[in-house]
Structure 1
Amino acid sequence: MAEKIEQQNGDNEAMQASQLAVFFELVSKGLSHSNVEVRRLFHGRGKCWPGLEQLTCDWVASQLLVNLFKPVDETFMCTLKQGLEELSTSDVWRNAQGKAIVLQHRYSDGAPTEVLWGELDSRPVVLELGCKYQLDIGRNQNFGLFLDMRNGREWVKEHARGKRVLNLFAYTCGFSVAAIEGGAEHVVNVDMARASLNKGRDNHRLNDHDTSNVTFMAHDIFKSWGKIKKYGPYDLIIIDPPSFQKGSFALTKDYKKILRRLPELLNAQGEVMACVNSPSVTPSFLIDSMREEAPTLTYIERLANPSEFADKDDDASLKVLLFR
């Protein structure tokens, strides 16, 4: 589910205060090219920047959201906060019209958030590819939209016209918003979390979508496929599960259970977007599993991830694969 379950790769690298100059250089460069769209400005999790593997930074509704994924020493923390304070007085920050700088400690229970400068808008509406999304900053680890999946949402928007779409593990329905915006005939969103689906309904309303063309199904797919099958057959099926969810989803075992259902859910010319974001699972897992469980489907291509999510090991990054 994109960054839903945080990548564990890089957890043993020591964070180095001496490398923070690189972080501030890249964040400043990103701010100087910033626009109204939500965007990642720094992605240490891809392990391309030694000593900064547990640090990310996002531009969210004119707010800078800095995330730490593991505890750091006092020197690193002081250097980071001092640098962010200096950034708040810079011409780059003023030109970007920044409103707040926030530090979220993702390694701690509840992911506590510190407001270092300005006043946090914890429920901003952001833009991506012309669509609006309601976020929720500071209350949870994830704020409601996985930025590394932007290219996937763009592909869906461009290929959804006139199609019936099934969106499995829908979360806050980002794919659904993109599909309806792109002219989909109907989208069925399935997720166990009713609260997430309610946020998805709000996202559709933000975009003035006719929600009579959208179904929100709070349902455990492993208990029954009957309700889902009733709305089919589908022209496009999107599978974007968490890497692991205790008690409900184990990726390598349960993904195959979904794939073997595809032939009975899809139209003859239907397409599948299969996603996985576990660093321990390579694209070949999806390709081989599809060949075993749904041999009528053929692998077409892997979508590129947004350039700002560069990863030292491409196989460890988000994998978005298309089948037909």
Structure 2
Amino acid sequence: MTTRVILKRGRAKPLWHGHPWVYAQAVERIEGGEGEPGDVVDVHDASGTFVARGFISPASSIRVRLLTQREDEAVDDALFRRRLERAIALRRAVGLPNAETNCYRLVNAEGDQMSGLVVDVYNDIVAVQLNSVGFYERRETLYSLLEELLSPRSIIELGATRFARSEGVNNATHLARMDHAEVDDQERHVGPVDVRELGLEYTIDLEQAQKTGLFLDQRENRRIVGQVANGRRVLDLYSYVGGFALAAARGGATSVVAVDASPRALETAQDAAKKNHLSIQTVESDAFRYLGDSDDPSFDLIVLDPPKFARSRRELKSALKGYRKLHRLALKRLAPGGLIASACCSQVVPTTEWQRMIADAAGGAGRPLTQLLLNGPGPDHPTLPSFAEGDYLRFALFAS
């Protein structure tokens, strides 16, 4: 008998509208056994009507990750194949991969109707992030499908995120498949991989990188920075491996300074600059400390791409305070007529509050700003209109 998760009265509405998560507090009771982590369960509303089907995680606040709303559709290998084939077709529809870009997101979890699964392609390497115990238990099936559909040289299984750990998944980053064979020797490594984004060449070490390697969600925003950089002195804060810095340099910036606290990331940025015959200056520093150094010159374009300042609503107030301070300091270093490109990846910070915070910082600095555009991730990072939790990245360009 299939385990049935019965919802409390009134809790099914978001799911009817396509929300892919059943929160623990929405569950009234479970029938047919509690279910083992990763089991397929059916979700029913309070009246007993079928709502959806997905993977259960008894210990997680996300009790069920939904995969289909069709009662006649099984959660099986055939479903995974259909979803992967659809994801590949959607990327091809938006022109990925192409001659300029061979690294992109293939599966964006909920946005591709595969809640808890992230798949990134880096040239001939596939990086897989398993945030769901259900997909973790079925990872070998996924790897076989990815090999069949993409023929990658290797598949890397990325280490557990906090979401995965909340579901009992505690794997470390390792090479899972090489040349269509399982890898038993955990000492084997794929090594650095050469990738291309917007015509720029990078060498990325996926087994040592933050996130999944290159922050692929910012690709189209790096394109924008490259388009407005010509003739400007550019400062790229929280530069990581230099994506914005290199885009600016190729776009004709007169000078580019990339600031990051990670020496490894800055070394990668300099290597990429040399590979692309570009010149950038790298500075190992905390962004706030660097901005407070009044001895350095002003800049005509400043890029702010900080890490998450808030992971929960409880941290919202302190996060806005930090963002406000960052923008206030940056505005002091911005030359008259300059541009600020600002990003926020904290999903719990609403876009309107983020914009209001920037306006407050600008007003306090006596540097009112005009917003030229508001953007998000590229089309290889699809989201669901019913799933606000998946709408995490915003990027805006401001003129002073």
What is the aligned counterpart of 1:129 among 168, 190, 198? 198
1:221 corresponds to 2:293: no
**Higher-Rg member (1/2):** 2
1:323 corresponds to 2:398: yes
1:236 corresponds to 2:326: no
Alpha-carbon distance between aligned partners in 1 of 2:281 and 2:140, rounded to the nearest angstrom: 48
Per-residue CA deviation, residues 8-32 of structure 1 (Å, 9 max, x unaligned), is x968242654341333213543579
What does residue 233 of structure 2 align with? Answer: 164
What is the aligned counterpart of 2:106 among 38, 42, 49? 42
**Aligned-residue identity in percent:** 24
Contact 1:242 1:251 (C-alpha < 8 Å) held by counterparts: no
1:20 corresponds to 2:71: no
Q: Give the residue type in structure 2 aligned to 1:305.
A: P
SS of the aligned residue for 1:290 comes to helix
Q: Give the residue type in structure 2 aligned to 1:256.
A: R
Alpha-carbon distance between aligned partners in 2 of 1:197 and 1:240, rounded to the nearest angstrom: 15
1:303 Cα offset (Å): 2.3
**Cα gap change, 1:15/1:79 in structure 2, threshold over 3 Å: closer, same or farther?**
farther
What is the aligned counterpart of 2:153 among 79, 99, 102? 99
Per-residue CA deviation, residues 106-125 of structure 1 (Å, 9 max, x unaligned), is 33364334125449743111
Contact 1:135 1:143 (C-alpha < 8 Å) held by counterparts: no
- Aligned pairs, number: 299
What is the aligned counterpart of 2:369 among 284, 297, 300? 297
Contact 1:123 1:137 (C-alpha < 8 Å) held by counterparts: yes
1:86 Cα offset (Å): 4.0
Per-residue CA deviation, residues 215-261 of structure 1 (Å, 9 max, x unaligned), is 2111123346343x433221111100000499xxx632311111112
What does residue 310 of structure 1 align with? Answer: 382
Contact 2:116 2:131 (C-alpha < 8 Å) held by counterparts: yes
1:41 Cα offset (Å): 4.4
**Cα gap change, 1:118/1:232 in structure 2, threshold over 3 Å: closer, same or farther?**
farther
Contact 1:154 1:178 (C-alpha < 8 Å) held by counterparts: yes
TM, length-normalised to structure 1 = 0.81
Structure 1: gaps of 5 or more residues: 1-8, 88-92
Q: Give the residue type in structure 2 aligned to 1:39.
A: C
Q: How does 1:4-153 map to 2 (within 5 A)?
A: 12=62, 13-14=64-65, 17-18=75-76, 19-29=79-89, 30=91, 34-36=97-99, 37-45=101-109, 47-50=110-113, 52-72=114-134, 76-87=138-149, 93=150, 98-107=152-161, 108=170, 110-115=172-177, 117-118=179-180, 121-153=190-222
Contact 1:23 1:42 (C-alpha < 8 Å) held by counterparts: no
Deviating 4+ runs (over 6 angstroms):
none
1:84 Cα offset (Å): 3.3
SS of the aligned residue for 1:222 comes to helix
1:177 Cα offset (Å): 0.6
Cα-Cα RMSD: 2.9
Contact 1:169 1:190 (C-alpha < 8 Å) held by counterparts: yes
Per-residue CA deviation, residues 143-185 of structure 1 (Å, 9 max, x unaligned), is 4311110111101111111100111111111111111111101
Structure 2: gaps of 5 or more residues: 1-19, 22-60, 68-74, 162-169, 182-188, 312-317
